Structure 1
Amino acid sequence: MTAMTELLADPNDFLHRQQERIKAPNTKIAASMIVKRYAKVYLDEVMDGLVFASEFPVVSLEACRFTEELNLIVDEAQVRTVDSRREAWRGVFSEHLTPVVDSLHKATRLPLIILWENIAVRMNSYLRKAVQKNPDQAWMVQEVAAELREREGDVFGLERNPLAEYLAPCEALTTQVMRKTCCYYHKLQKEKELPYCLVCPVQ
């Protein structure tokens, strides 16, 4: 288990271990799979609170540890809540996911657009399932989806919103959105798993 702050400071050892564990041909593809997985487990941790709660959770990098099996361990004592959803979005992106993307991009030179679309795919998945599980509160999910799409770059610590072009339309959150970039999942050595991801643009 590795503290996220330590992992991001020097991700190379973790990348090489994961490359071997998931049978990726190189660390670039390992980084893509790591971000896909991290986005899923991290968004699962924070998004219900962002959508349905009156106070919004902020789960910092310092509160998180990542296991070799790519599971997220959160120190709940370090989780705080805020009254402003905008501040919570900053906690999700500029203070958390943007540093994850930057660290793995610098370590592997995997294009930023792939890493950010990996996160968008996981966000789309969360929003789709949230609507399906909570049909009476679908309007709340749509409201948050619209807000995320409209957020400017400062929430991400960037010049522009890197997710907007990859997010599902707010009026059709239950539809699958095909990727624009390839995550390289099909490059992994697999035995029984699907040969391509479900939204693959190249299959």
Structure 2
Amino acid sequence: MDRYLSTDLWKQTAEKHSIWLGEPPEHSIRTIALSELHDEAACRKYIRWFQEYIDAPDMKVAASMLAKRIGYLWTAPLVIAMTFHHQHVTFQLENSFLYHPTLSANEGGTRFPFLAVNGLRAEPLSEDREFSREKVVEEMFAVQLTPLLKMLAAIAPLSMSILWENIMVRIGPLYTLEAEEAERESEHIQADFSYLTQGAPGHVFGVKRNPLTRFTDHKDNIPVAKSERITCCFYYQMSGEYCRKCPKIDNENKSQLK
């Protein structure tokens, strides 16, 4: 195992983001490899099942909820490893599984999937951080995540803007919190966020232009994540309530939300 993957830094990150290190637990209700979600028939079959399992009204809502969950389970840990631990962690999609434990074995009671990963690899970023960073981002998005988002958009059907903002809401808070805690001591933290949301060309995301730029504002000429969403993720359609950042409700009603 790569040295980083045996450290408390990685183990704590994995635990915080509901990652099971190893093969998925036996007797799970449903298990599917991330690589299978790149296949239209397999992805459609899973989303239909997931829709029913979480009691979503349609595939559009189910796909949106899955994208948000993937941002939490998959994208956020890789971004944390890159920016805060200076590591390039690679998930092999065929050895990474969304799984739904039995409700009796699930302490949190959520019906949303967890992630089991096996055969992880990690290597430190090189001294040429800009080169390493581009390599990490291109693998994470253009090679692995973006094809899945495009598949979800096609079968739901659903706007890619919604799916990208679902990923962005998992990335933005990582940099906001760490920047405050570090009191801007680490320039690479802001540099990484600026690259992800402003500087990275579209091809490293597998699209024509950077899809995260529109979800940022500037504060003192520094890019920051928008405080409110531009798109709606449709959470209210299955929960009966709006999230605080939802663009569909006015500020007066937002102040009454918990």
- Report the TM range for the smaller structure's normalisation: 0.7 to 0.9
Residue in structure 2 matched with residue 78 of structure 1 by the alignment: 120
Name the counterpart of 2:51: 19
CA distance in 2, matches of 1:37, 1:197: 15
Who is 2:32 aligned against?
A: 2
Alignment check: 8 A CA contact 2:80 2:174 kept: no
Superposition map of 1:44-55 within 5 A: 44-55=76-87
1:31/1:104 contact within 8 Å kept? yes
SS in 1 for 2:210: coil
Structure 2 residue 94 is matched with structure 1 residue 62: yes
Shift of 1:147: 1.2
Give the CA deviation at 1:99.
Answer: 1.3
The offset of 1:167, in angstroms, is 3.0
Shift of 1:119: 1.0
Give the Cα–Cα distance (whole angstroms) in 1 for the partners of residues 186 and 95 of structure 2: 30
Letter in 1 for 2:208: E
Q: State the distance in 2 between where 1:74 and 1:29 align.
A: 26
User: CA separation of 1:126/1:52 partners in 2, compared to 1, >3 Å: closer, same or farther?
Assistant: closer
- Which structure 2 segments of 5+ residues have no match? 1-30, 101-111, 127-131, 250-258
State the Cα deviation string for residues 30-70 of structure 1 (Å, max 9, x = none): 00000001011112321222103344223242342111331
RMSD in angstroms over aligned alpha carbons?
2.1
Matched residue, 1:158? 207
Measure the CA separation in 1 of the matches of 2:204 and 2:227: 24
Give the aligned residue type for 2:193: A
Q: Partners of 2:59 and 2:121 in 1: how far apart?
A: 31
Q: Deviations over 1:153-203 (max 9, x none)?
A: 110111111111113547364x7621111111110045xxxx112311012
* Structure 1 residue 8 displacement after superposition: 2.7
Q: Which has the larger radius of gyration?
A: 2
2:174 to 126, 131, 147: 126
Change (3 A) 1:163 1:172: closer
1:64 aligned partner, one-letter code: S
Q: When the two structures are superposed, what TM-score results if normalisation uses the length of structure 2?
A: 0.69
- Residue identity opposite 1:182 in structure 2: C
CA contact (8 A) 1:179 1:201 kept: yes
Structure 2 distance, partners of 1:33, 1:59, is: 21
Offset of residue 23 of structure 1: 1.6
- Bigger share in strand: 2
Identity %: 28
Matches within 5 A, 1:185-200: 185-189=235-239, 195-200=241-246
- CA gap 1:144/1:179 in 2 versus in 1, 3 angstroms: same
Secondary structure class of the residue paired with 1:188 = helix
Scaled by the length of structure 1, the TM-score of the pair is 0.86
How far off its partner does 1:95 sit?
1.2
Distance across 1 between alignment mates of 2:70 and 2:86: 25
Map 1:33-48; keep pairs closer than 5 Å. 33-48=65-80
Cα shift readout 1:9-32 (whole Å, capped 9, x = no counterpart)? 121221122212222100111000
Q: Which structure shows the bigger proportion of residues in helix conformation?
A: 1
